Structure 1
């Protein structure tokens, strides 16, 4: 029994070589370690998968909670619309610009708050092979996987929330009419003026950037920022 536990400890040490900074070199040891521990009656793949899922739960929760707070976003009108905004301010109509930008930011915050169920579903559906690929990947491998799995669903959830907030400005229909006319203009390379798409793109970019930052921090200090299980996967903690 002591020999078996000692072998397990050695193999787990190989599985969690610190830093994840050179995963190409570490990868063969992961494969060897997995097989040895399986032969001893332990299912390391499942443990790795649980650690990855816990990393995702932790990083997405921190990111979405932080970005759903009022003031988390500071979106302004897209650059193509700024000359119009400047003109309105010159004529004393700056309050309309401020109202529109406030609606954009509230929409982004509320949309991020709705992301949790989509994240949970993606994490639940993650396979062991997905998790093993993430362990061997870059410092944001989990985030990159996550974005591929959730982006389409998030856009569907974001759209009505952003639209609802823009409608509160009172001139949403006029904006949509102008946008429709603008998009029909036979001009190549027209700048982006679709505010809904702009807000969704900006808020999703910031959300996944924040998730990636959280993942990187967890990988660097897995026990302090995650748990003992995450530490065993990424940082060499004993458990």
Structure 2
């Protein structure tokens, strides 16, 4: 519905208007008082609020580590070794890596906010159409597609630094030597851990961007401004 209003007010592309003609008629009947500008503002505000809430949620102590839904696991080889060694009381080094990898993600997470803001500002009419015609997390999917390459680049240095500063790389190196895992870890500990941690950290972040987007779309209590109530109410 929002996309139809934006299309009617902003675009003259015949193909887009044809594709959305039925939606436009429905919007005119149901939300005739909503302008294209208001619809655009509401969509951007919803995405901005969802992204900001997700970043705030994960970018705190135990944002990852204390949340079983997004806690970053150890890579499979290390996780198996951890499970084997834990009953014997010998998993301390791997437990340390596990915790510090999550702490590194919590440290790096605030960097996502600026990229999300840039992506939302760059939203086009076709992006908006896709978001509104899509499912309850279509906005999140747009952000994920638009920002993942840059987020990966942005997250990697802070993740690597945090892994070093928190001692995770050193802990992994000790665990590899202590538990005879040299043959299973083909990359340098820093590269191995950072690539894995960045991927899982972004997955957890987008999980909560999607959760927030769905809530704004479906829960009236989440529509905290007049424009959100007008657009999604």
Match among 39, 45, 59 for residue 36 of structure 2: 45
Q: TM-score, structure 1 length as denominator? A: 0.70
Q: Among residues 46, 50, 61, which one is paired with 1:55 in the alignment?
A: 46
Contact residue 222 and residue 230 of structure 1 kept, 8 A: no
Choose 1 or 2 for highest CA Rg.
1
What is the number of residues matched between the two proteins? 201
Misfit runs of 4+, over 6 Å: 33-36, 175-181
What is the alpha-carbon distance in structure 2 between the residues aligned to residue 212 and residue 56 of structure 1? 10
Aligned partner of 2:63 in structure 1 is 72
Any unmatched runs of 5+ in structure 2?
6-19, 66-71
The equivalent of 2:216 in structure 1 is 218
Counterparts in 2 of 1:82 and 1:133: CA distance versus 1, 3 Å = closer
1:92 Cα deviation from its structure 2 partner = 5.6
In structure 1, list runs of 5 or more residues that go unmatched: 1-10, 16-26, 185-192
When normalised by structure 2's length, the TM-score is 0.71
Asked if residue 166 in structure 1 is aligned to residue 169 in structure 2, the reply is no
The CA distance in 1 between the partners of 2:111 and 2:49, in whole Å, is 16
Q: Compute the displacement of 1:183 (Å).
A: 3.3
Contact 1:155 1:200 in 2 (8 A): yes
Partner of 1:198: 196
2: CA distance, partners of 1:86 / 1:139:
37
Change (3 A) 1:180 1:125: farther
In 1, are the aligned partners of 2:144 and 2:206 still within 8 Å (CA)? Answer: yes
Of residues 208, 229, 233, the one that matches 1:231 is 229
